[in-house]
Structure 1
Amino acid sequence: MAEWLRDMSVGEWYRTDGDPFEIVGVDTKAEIVLVQHFDGTLEEYDFDSWLELAARSTPPPEDYSGALDIERDDYTEESDSQAGGGRWNDPLDFLDSR
């Protein structure tokens, strides 16, 4: 097995000149590296193309919303008491309210 392949694993982030991307799969038999770009698009590279890409390791982005296709307002943190007015305190109350 090639040295560069041993150092690579699923979940690691890389960058070329553009946005970062994450390795989401490596198939050693088919010699394919599957990556997911920050915007959520998937792309696969054969091993030769991966080497030509000359991607370098990078830390993961702090904001993962690019791949999730959601706006920041969609995932603001609220406590259950703020979001539901405490309706989750008793599951039977929730069922009776329908």
Structure 2
Amino acid sequence: MAQWLSELAVGRWFVTDGEPFEIVGIDADSEVVLVQHYDGTLEDFEFDTWVALAARPCAAPEDVSGAFDYDHDDDPQDERSSSSAGRWRDPLDFLDLRDRT
């Protein structure tokens, strides 16, 4: 097996000259690597194209929510939302919520 093929795994992040992207699928029978860019765009590469791409492994971005079009302001439980920014929350406030379900 080629060395580059052993580095491929679903969930690993790679980078070329542009933005990093994540491998979301590998089809060894069809010789295709499916990747998802940070903005959510899906793209597939045949193995020959992947080798020519010369993608290098990299760390995942700190905030991987870009592909999910997630807005922190929409989540009232998110500490980064504008409605709760700078406000301290007591963890004991959430104990009652657990009993209601």
**Fold equivalence (TM over 0.5):** yes
TM-score under structure 1 normalisation?
Answer: 0.77
Q: Equivalent residue for 2:61?
A: 61
- Whether contact under 8 Å (1:80, 1:88) holds in the other structure is no
Partners of 1:24 and 1:18 in 2: CA distance: 18
* Residue type at the aligned position of 1:90: R
Choose 1 or 2 for highest CA Rg: 1
By how many angstroms is 1:19 displaced? 1.2
Task: Provide Cα deviations, 1:5-53, integer angstroms capped at 9, x if missing partner.
Answer: 0122111100111111000111111000000100111110000111111
- Whether contact under 8 Å (1:14, 1:55) holds in the other structure is yes
- Whether contact under 8 Å (1:65, 1:72) holds in the other structure is no
Q: Give structure 1 stretches of 5+ with no counterpart.
A: 92-98
Pairs aligned (count): 89
Q: Give structure 2 stretches of 5+ with no counterpart.
A: 80-88
TM-score under structure 2 normalisation?
Answer: 0.75
Partners of 1:57 and 1:67 in 2: CA distance: 19
- Whether contact under 8 Å (1:9, 1:23) holds in the other structure is yes
Percent of aligned positions that are identical: 51
CA-atom RMSD, angstroms? 2.3
